[in-house]
Structure 1
């Protein structure tokens, strides 16, 4: 399995490239519009055919690159079921498996950050946690149908029950981290360690974070799979 983590510095967003090198087939998880050219270059250099673009959720801080990647590569766009999107090629639900050669991806429903958030378990070793679980943090719960209590349940009951050595790859990082493990987050994540469900709800309610800078444009654009009026990319 080829596995690459790629960063959009402006929004601190990680995009993940996963590929079966024998089939020369690839998947991108959480692509970013401004990084489409980078992603297409990676695919071309590695002689990979993009099969799928998968979203962990409807993002509020960046516009997805799925629409442009789909136009160029004819890949399929996949979003979590219930996300309120009608432009996707496929909707993935809890415990559903996506297979591509030697790559096996299991969807794990982890609502709370949004009401239709998915985490993706890749080959039972790499856990792409989206915004549900960050390295020493978690996604906010104060918009997009977020619910702190539900997020607490998702993380503690669905993710923290996985094996401790499971590698954790989040959708964002704002402090220079790239990877963690379930065991580390259970021991050191300050948002969960020492807090019960009610204490977590109260803590999240007191964050008072500013809205993401791109929320007004990102959410409606992502509900259209990233379709906006911009020139087409070519390779």
Structure 2
């Protein structure tokens, strides 16, 4: 049985990914910082719940200990899905002129440091798996090639913090993939999906957005590693 942890899985892309991996036969842990919402989601999907706040060292350590105790110290798939975009109160994007360390810091704490924190804590469990996989949920806005292309949709995004944080996530992906050749480590671009992260302003459904996350979570030991993919294939860095 394949054991999978998905962070930020009580709603949106994380929930849909959990639903589909359960259908594929995985034992899925719905990671959530809200215990009530996490338990309810797990019950509805037939998953297990683990409390995990990716910004809290003790919470992440406790989650790793819980899963290790239940599965002989093994985790097969880690989906680093928890993330925030940091929009303004009226659902706007913080303009470069208004960006400060204080507006940028929360995004790096969750999107970058949270991904690093969780990955670090679960590496010992993943290294005990016969076919370990890490999927980091990034964004097309992480692509330097796309965001500097005036013809690409990403080129019209005006903010700094979210693209910068997801570009950093891509660097984590590349360096972890090189350091751990036994683990399939990839970043994915779900597309502009209608979720709470963007104030439900996206144009895709969660079913469409989760497609590439699920595909990469199901990779075998001969699958690609150190790459950046969307549903159509490789995404330029």
Do these two structures clear the TM 0.5 threshold for a shared fold by scoring above it?
A: no
The structure carrying a bigger strand percent of its residues is: 1
- What TM-score, normalized to structure 2? 0.37
- What TM-score, normalized to structure 1? 0.38
The structure carrying a bigger helix percent of its residues is: 2
